[in-house]
Amino acid sequence: MKLLNIGTMGLSLLLSLLWCPVLGQKKPQPLLLSYENVTLDSAHRRVYYEQRLYRNPLVGMLDLARSLRSEGVTEFVPMVQGVPVARYDLGPELQAVLLSRQDRAAFARSHPFAGNRYKFDFRLQPEFIANFGNKDRPVESKTNLLVQSQLFLSRGLVLHWGVLVPIANTFDSQPLNLRPAPIYLNQFLALNQTNYLSLSAGLFYNDQYGVNVQYRKANLTKPWSFGVEAGLTGFYFFPPNGLYYSRLREVLLLADVAYRFDARDVTIRLSGGQYLGDDRGARVDFIRQFPNVEVGLFVMKTTNGSTGGFQFAIPIPPGKIAQSARLRLRTTEEFRWEYNYSRGYNIGTRYRVGNQLDALLRQYHQGYLRNQYRLFGAN
């Protein structure tokens, strides 16, 4: 180790968010305040835009459609970090159109990247780590509040940075000292119609630093998708008097295949490979998407043992707290949490890098958005 001298998420909340009819209650927001990097193509009745308020892309899409009703816009192209994802036609039935490399290149030539088209955006994100079942201490937990922001450097390239404010810790011996939140660079790339890449380097979640590469082949109109993730990381720790870190030695190498059942918004995902600590094995996920949240169950078996657990992703109210043309303070669009009972055996341990590529693209799948549009699109 080296030293550098430098300064119970309740079930009732989950169920209420699960059934809350957010889409049916949204009102149009002021266009320039609610969206960023907006480009209106009147000739094709199309709008390119980016929004960071809602974890469900259709909420922003319908809100923008109402705001642009007088313009006759019918085609919507949401972007991630300035990169167009796909084109969505809001006709009688929502239709997704895949974008080729030439489509994205033509857009980039005609609309050069400009960082000043994004707000100086701060989001509040809770972090909750817990173990349950200890006889002497039934709940061992760590609760923090992350104040995070993003700096847009070029198309697809973003610096994520922030500050971590500790609140309580009965989980481990880490002091309650103010320290940096995960700080990392991320490059998001759409290579063609179905191939996506996410490259990250820096300080990640779960006290790991290093480099991470995620590749996914995902046709946003088809049920099958495939992915590979690789990473080389080390451990870091912020005590009150500096930074401890280990050398880069942990290898993460995972591959997965997923199939989506459109009728129920259910995805079955099989993944496997090498987790942290040279632990090797496989995992099966059952994931159900709802309009506002995502819930899942999983089981895994590795060389360190067998376990199962659950995960969920929910929006955190109230969303927007205050904003102007250049500044915004909000709660995070997504709080994602996963739990499995391993009690120190480190079964299938891994780290997070913001949005996982498979989870991000799952939100933009035609089937997921179309099922909601059939219910809420006419409102």
Kindly tell me if the per-residue pLDDT of 210 is higher than 50. Answer: yes
pLDDT tens for 15-70 read: 334 334 344 334 434 555 789 999 999 888 999 999 999 999 999 999 999 888 88
DSSP state of 157: E
Buried b vs exposed e over 102-136: b needs ≥16 C-beta within 10 Å? ebbeebeeebeeeeeebbebbbbbebbeebeeeee
How remote is the C-alpha of 198 from its chain's centroid?
Answer: 12
Beta strands 179-180 and 195-203: pairing type? unpaired
DSSP state for residue 207 in the 8-state scheme: T
Say if residue 126's pLDDT is above 60. Answer: yes
Mean pLDDT on 248-273: 97
pLDDT of residue 265: 97
d(CA 251, CA 276): 6
What pLDDT is stored for residue 178 in this prediction? 95
pLDDT score of 75 more than 80: yes
Among residues 295, 299, 260, 258, which one has the least CA distance to residue 281? 299
User: Distance between CA atoms of 367 and 61, rounded to whole angstroms?
Assistant: 15
Q: Where are the domains of the chain?
A: 1-379
Lowest mean pLDDT among 22-36, 285-299, 311-325, 330-344: 22-36
> How many other CB atoms sit within 10 Å of the CB of residue 172?
9
Sign of CA dihedral 227, 232, 235, 240: negative
Amino acid in position 357: L
pLDDT of residue 307: 93
Q: By CB neighbour count within 10 A (0-12 exposed, 13-18 middle, 19+ buried), where does 202 fall?
A: middle
| Chain segment 1-10, per-residue pLDDT in tens | 444 443 333 3
pLDDT in tens, 350-367: 999 988 999 999 999 999
Distance (Å, whole) CA 371 – CA 368: 6
Grade residue 325 by pLDDT with cuts at 50, 70 and 90: confident
How far apart are alpha carbons 174 and 35 in whole angstroms? 39
- When pLDDT is averaged across residues 316-326 and rounded to a whole number, the result is 91
- Taking the C-alpha atoms of residue 95 and residue 370, their distance in angstroms, rounded to an integer, is 7
Instruction: Count the neighbouring beta carbons within 10 Å of the beta carbon of residue 5.
Output: 7
Q: What is the mean pLDDT of residues 136-145?
A: 85
